[in-house]
């Protein structure tokens, strides 16, 4: 799938995203900032958050992009824990988590909520993947996903070498996990 087609799949013009779709080397803009370019290294991050512990309960964690090298990464940004759309999206990723794991991919959510809020959200929704806290929006900004005080609903698919392979803006929470999983499968079949 061409860059323009992939971007248009995730774009809802007039709602959450407006992209400037030029050729390679021209920045793509979305409501939330300048998006990182497909085919280049994903922006680095280093954030605190929560991850499932050995007892299944959310435990404090600190993750950076380098910690995740060697596996595919679904990095999704969302506005706020416990809101209807964010809960729907989180449940979708949780439902499909075993399929992502079977494909060698990890799922990580990022919002401005603090780690305690994330722990409560994970416990309430039975989430067993990490949620990271970006209270000042520095990482969200690097991914073109920040309008203070919230991260925007954008998702990124990063390959095992740390290269950005796909992105979605203006995400609709229902069925989004399946969209990402389908693109991951397609990219792996192509040998990306």
pLDDT tens, position by position, 126-142:
999 999 999 999 999 99
What is the model's pLDDT at position 29? Answer: 61
State both tokens at 132.
Answer: 């990271």
| Catalytic residue (one of 50, 86, 131, 167) | 86
Residue 177 sits in which domain range?
A: 3-190
CATH for 109: 3.40.30.10
pTM: 0.85
Q: How many domains does the chain have?
A: 1
CB within 8 Å of 189: residues ≥ 6 apart: none
pLDDT in tens, 74-116: 999 999 999 999 999 999 999 999 999 999 999 999 999 999 9
pLDDT, one tens digit per residue, over 6-53 is: 443 443 332 233 333 333 445 566 667 899 999 999 999 999 999 998
* 20 assigned to active site: no
| Edge-to-edge strands, sheet with 72-77 | 58-64, 46-52, 131-133, 105-111, 72-77, 154-158, 164-168
């Amino acid at each position: 799938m061409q860059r323009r087609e992939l971007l248009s799949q995730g774009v809802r013009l007039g709602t959450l995203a407006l992209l400037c779709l030029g050729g390679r080397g021209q920045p793509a803009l979305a409501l939330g900032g300048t998006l990182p370019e497909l085919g280049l290294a994903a922006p680095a991050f280093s954030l605190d958050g929560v991850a499932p512990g050995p007892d299944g309960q959310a435990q404090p964690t600190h993750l950076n992009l380098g910690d995740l090298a060697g596996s595919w990464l679904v990095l999704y940004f969302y506005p706020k824990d416990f809101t209807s759309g964010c809960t729907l999206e989180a449940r979708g990723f949780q439902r499909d988590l075993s399929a992502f794991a079977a494909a060698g991919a990890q799922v990580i959510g990022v919002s401005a909520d603090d780690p305690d809020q994330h722990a409560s959200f994970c416990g309430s929704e039975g989430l067993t993947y990490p949620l990271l806290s970006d209270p000042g929006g520095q990482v969200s900004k690097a991914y073109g996903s920040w309008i203070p005080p919230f991260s925007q609903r954008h998702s990124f698919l990063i390959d095992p070498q740390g290269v950005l392979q796909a992105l979605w803006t203006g995400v609709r929470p229902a069925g989004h996990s399946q969209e990402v999983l389908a693109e991951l499968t397609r990219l792996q079949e192509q040998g990306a």
